Amino acid sequence: MTSVAVVGASGYIGSELLRILVNHPKIDKIIALSRSLAGKKVSSYLTHLRGFLDVEFINTDLEKLDADFVYVAAPPGEWINSIPAVLDKGIRVVSMGGKFRIKDPLIDSKIYPGFDNTRLMDEVVYGLPELYREQISKARFIANPGCYTTSIILALAPLSSQSKILDLDKIVVSSVSGSSGAGAGPSRFLHHPEMSSNLRPYKVLEHRHTPEMEHILGREYKTNLNISFTPSVGNYSRGILSYVNLFTSHEFDLAQAFTEYHGGEFFIRFIGSDEKTTPNIKDVVNTNFCDLGAYYDGTRKRIFILSATDNLIKGGSGTAVQNMNLMLGFDESLGLESVGLSP
């Protein structure tokens, strides 16, 4: 069996990792790390885990961890300098933060300044299984994708074979995320009276996930893309719905493009191209699924794609567990086969 440590276990991503891992059939020991809560029982703070994880939070150096696998769900910090020593012990690592997602040191250091590490940048693999499954299975160090980025890359990657007939300088994307995407820290921005009956756009000109989307999709399309991205926070807890618009004067079989690219992917559900049927958030919340719909507007020569995910699972901890399963040789869907809620 396998022991797993979660650094930053008290945050939303960290606690969601714990929730998934307690039901994982191959995991027999979970170590929860939190500086602020060290010595307190996990289930006294994360009360939904009562009876499932009654160990205490600990605080220790990464190099001292006795585990087979480590998730780091903490902001960039001194822990980065400890990762090489952890890898040298044979422990595999998934970083949940933005650092190292963009394998270009100049862009990475501009968006996530400080704590640069050349060795980790050379070794890191981008952790989106639907695109990089083989590389992930051989990797020791993974940078887990961003929540918005996952939603949008999975929507746009199937059209990479049509790159020559698409206007890649004019891709317009907007996404609405549940408030959990901003993390567990309190702020006036997310205070209930501010968010109730509200939809709040933010970072409307430059969000740090935009270069990540352009970088990864540029690999798939083998050319540069220009993505205009606008995020908003909705007055609900979890789930992302992304609206993707791009343009072409050539109509082609969208359904075929999506089924060929994502065919056989357990966690991708292509809803179709009939505008009467669209993805929606409630079908994917509490799951690791991404629901996609793709539609052609012949009047405006527009391709419109909808992508629905749970920002904490497929957009975070679920994909991270997919990555762990691949890295440790487990079935990729282990621990992740929950279905959505209704109503």
The CA angle 235-227-243, to the nearest 5 degrees, is 40
Rg (CA), the chain: 20
- Reduced to 3 states, what is the DSSP secondary structure of residue 253? coil
Q: Which of 166, 178, 201, 199 is nearest to 294 (CA)?
A: 166
Is there a catalytic annotation at residue 147? yes
Instruction: Compute the residue count for the chain.
Output: 343
- Reduced to 3 states, what is the DSSP secondary structure of residue 35? coil
178, 240 in Cβ contact below 8 A? Answer: yes
Rounded CA-CA distance 173/160 in Å is 17
212, 154 in Cβ contact below 8 A? Answer: no
For residue 30, give the amino acid letter. Answer: I
For residue 242 the two structure tokens come to: 């992304």
The single-letter DSSP state of residue 146 is P
Q: Which of 34, 23, 28, 32 is nearest to 3 (CA)?
A: 28
The DSSP element (H or E) to which 188 belongs, if any, is none
Which strands make up the sheet holding 92-95, listed edge to edge? Answer: 27-33, 2-7, 69-72, 92-95, 141-143, 125-126
What lies within 8 Å, CB to CB, of 175 at 6+ separation is 148, 151, 152, 229, 230, 231, 232, 240, 241, 242, 243
**70, 147, 281, 308: which one is catalytic?**
147
Any idea which residues carry the catalytic annotation?
A: 147
